[in-house]
């Protein structure tokens, strides 16, 4: 499923020459529209790497879980920390589960 961008939150990484989601997308699919809001072009080419979701500094990008796994309303939201990533998983009933993992570093 392609990323869903909350345009109320997206600020287009103002102050940067290129938004972070555009810089990190391995498929060169993320870009800004005429209002400086991020979007994925074309959806069918996104392979769900979630790089844009992880790097968004304002949490404007979320990954929708395919209906085969989570049905409508299920979400998987990463929050990057300095050396950890916290995954928030919301199922179709609104139940929330969080998982926190230490990021890989060169010392590991």
Indicate which CATH number applies to the domain containing 43: 3.30.70.20
pLDDT recorded at residue 5: 94
Query: 24: domain range?
Result: 1-48
pTM of the prediction?
A: 0.73
Residues 1 and 42 in one domain: yes
Selecting among 17, 44, 47, 69, the annotated active-site residue is: 47
Cβ proximity of 61 and 54 under 8 Å:
no
Q: Name the band, by pLDDT with cuts 50, 70 and 90, for residue 63.
A: confident
Residue 74 scores a pLDDT above 60 = yes
**Over residues 14-43, mean pLDDT:** 92
Cα 71 to Cα 8, 13, 65, 68, 90, distances in angstroms: 24, 31, 7, 6, 11
Report the percentage of the chain scoring pLDDT > 90.
Answer: 43
Residues 41 and 74 in one domain: no
Residue 67 scores a pLDDT above 70 = no
**Is residue 54 included in any domain, yes or no?**
no
Look up 47 and say whether it is catalytic. Answer: yes
CB atoms within 10 A of CB 46: 19
**Over residues 70-74, mean pLDDT:** 74
């Amino acid at each position: 499923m392609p990323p869903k961008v909350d345009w109320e939150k997206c600020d287009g990484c103002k102050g940067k020459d290129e938004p972070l989601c555009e810089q990190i997308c391995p498929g060169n699919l993320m870009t800004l529209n005429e209002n400086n809001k991020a979007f994925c072009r074309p959806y069918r080419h996104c392979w769900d790497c979630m790089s844009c979701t992880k790097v968004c500094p304002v949490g404007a990008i979320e990954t929708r879980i395919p209906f085969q796994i989570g049905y409508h309303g299920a979400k998987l939201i990463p929050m990057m920390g300095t050396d950890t990533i916290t995954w928030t998983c919301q199922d179709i009933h609104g139940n929330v589960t969080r998982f926190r993992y230490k990021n890989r570093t060169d010392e590991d």
